[in-house]
Amino acid sequence: MTYRQPSDTGYFGDFGGRFVPETLMSALHELEKAYARAQRDDAFCRRNDDLLMHYVGRPTPMYFAERLSDHAGGAKIYLKREDLAHTGAHKINNALGQCLLAQFMGKTRIIAETGAGQHGVATATASALLGLDCHVFMGSEDVARQRPNVQRMTLLGAEVIPVESGSCTLKDAINEAIRDWVTNVRTTHYVIGSVVGPHPYPLMVRAFQTVIGRESRSQILEREGRLPDEIIACVGGGSNAIGMFHPFLDDLNVAMTGVEAAGDGVASERHAATLVAGTPGTLHGAKSYLLQTPDGQISHAHSVSAGLDYPGVGPEHAHLKETGRVTYSAITDDEALDAFGTISSLEGIIPALESAHAVAEGLKRAARLTSDQIVLINLSGRGDKDLGIIEEVRP
């Protein structure tokens, strides 16, 4: 059976949809049409492909992590090296695609939200390249803990707007970006950084990110002559995971795990494990799983990794959880920090703290498998931005 989601109205099973103020509906319809037109436009596609190859540096390598595999003592571990993409994470795949689309629509003002700062940097980069006016909303707590990325965005010519409301993290940055979009909708394109938000964003961001899974598929077939037994990716909003998983969804022999942030532990109140421990609800334009109170107020999430520190998740992940096609698990701050150290010292690869969650889960799973089996981990970003936090929590 071929996987075909979402529906024309943007539903992945029961999840998704378009829950936004009426003011934005015309912009969503316009975006949907423009995106469909761009996909059929040869010049648009050629330009995107060309930039992905020569500017972003795609395809990114697929690396056999031999020492990490020996350490786990089980399956062979392969890493998809999204950390080697320009700007240091998978976020550029989507940011570049959407900024090209904004240009295609004739919109010159770009807004974006950012948590860890990777999406903000990617959007600021694409905006610089294409000569667009870029404004990035970032929770004030994240501005403090992801300082290097704030400096990069500023250098790239973007305005970084600290958001002081609510939990002062990613959720609140999205609220503020939506408010800006409602106000400036006629001139502005909102570059959402993950597979979240109202239709067509989850569909469109997925399409820009599936380059990860498509490359991985042909790379592993070339290296090993077969598909991996397991694929693992971290999930905040879930764009690197969807990008990796989507091209394998019909390969039922490939098991997939999305790794959420368990923070201090899922049983504590301080975590960001939305699918593992949350309940269905509606936030930021879509029906999905949320961390919320019994009264429907959104809870504050917690993770050592700013990019996973979000009380929602992309609607397609909610659907994949319900159908059981993808398993979702959670890794604590401590486990992620251990994995961060392990892969740094064994492989000479400093991962983003987000990606370290996937590495931690991958090590566990690889240990349970045999040496003729393959685990593929999406190493979604590099960890330079996290050195300040590491110093703080592991002095």
Is 344 tagged catalytic? no
Q: Which is nearer to other proteins, 217 or 284 (CB)?
A: 284
Q: Which of 127, 239, 329, 380 is catalytic?
A: 380
What's the min distance (Å) between Cβ of 176 and other proteins? Answer: 9
Q: Which amino acid belongs to residue 241?
A: A
> How far apart (Å, rounded) are the C-alpha atoms in residues 113 and 214?
27
Which residue, among 193, 201, 34, has the nearest Cα to 125 in the 3D structure?
A: 193
Residue 149 has φ and ψ, to the nearest 5°, of: -70, -30
Out of 171, 206, 271, 364, which residue is the one contacting other proteins (CB under 8 A)? Answer: 171
Nearer to other proteins, 145 or 199 (CB): 199
91 is catalytic: yes
Please give the full DSSP string across 241-291, using - where no structure is assigned: HHHHHGGGTT-TTSEEEEEEEEET-TTSS--B-HHHH-EEEEETEEEEEE-
7 near other proteins, rule: CB under 8 A? no
Binders of other proteins in range 136-165 (CB under 8 A): 165
Given 116, 132, 185, 211, the residue binding other proteins (CB under 8 A): 185
Indicate the residue among 312 and 381 with the shorter CB distance to other proteins: 312
Active-site residue, 167 included: no
Q: Number of residues in contact with other proteins, rule: CB under 8 A?
A: 37
- We find the least distance from the C-beta atom of residue 339 to other proteins, in angstroms, to be 32
For residues 250 and 272, what is the distance between their CA atoms, to the nearest angstrom? Answer: 29
Q: What is the footprint of other proteins within residues 60-79 (CB under 8 A)?
A: none
Q: Does 183 bind other proteins (CB under 8 A)?
A: yes
8 A C-beta contact, residue 228 and residue 78: yes
At 78, is the secondary structure helix, strand, or coil? strand
**18 is a site residue for other proteins (CB under 8 A):** yes
- The whole-angstrom separation of Cα 175 and Cα 154 is 22
Q: In what order do the strands lie in the sheet with 62-64?
A: 62-64, 76-81, 374-379, 230-234, 255-263, 326-332
373 binds other proteins (CB under 8 A): no
The contacts of residue 274 (CB under 8 Å, 6+ apart) are 260, 288, 289, 290, 291, 301, 310, 311, 312, 313
The residues with which 257 forms a beta bridge, in sequence order, are 232, 327
| Sign of the alpha-carbon torsion through 4, 9, 15, 20 | positive
Q: Per rule CB under 8 A, is residue 42 in the interface with other proteins? A: no
First to last CA, the chain: 51
> 10 Å Cβ neighbour count for 58?
19
Cβ distance to other proteins smaller for residue 262 or 298: 298
Minimum Å gap between C-beta 24 and other proteins is 8
Q: Between residue 186 and residue 225, which ones bind other proteins under the rule CB under 8 A?
A: 186
In the complex, least distance from residue 218 CB atom to other proteins, rounded to whole angstroms:
38
Q: Which stretch binds other proteins (CB under 8 A): 45-53, 133-141, 177-185, 343-351?
A: 177-185
Nearer to other proteins, 131 or 296 (CB): 296
Q: What is the rounded distance in angstroms from the CA atom of residue 76 to the CA atom of residue 115? A: 32
Binding mask 272-311 for other proteins (x = CB under 8 A): ---------xxxxx----x-xxxxxxx-------------
* Catalytic-role residue among 91, 287, 321, 364: 91
Q: Any contact of residue 21 with other proteins (CB under 8 A)?
A: yes
Q: Residues 113, 141, 230, 361: which is the catalytic one?
A: 113
**96 contacts 126 by C-beta, under 8 angstroms:** yes
Residues classed as catalytic: 91, 113, 380
Interacting residue ranges for other proteins, rule: CB under 8 A: 9, 17-27, 165-166, 171-172, 175, 178-179, 182-186, 281-285, 290, 292-298
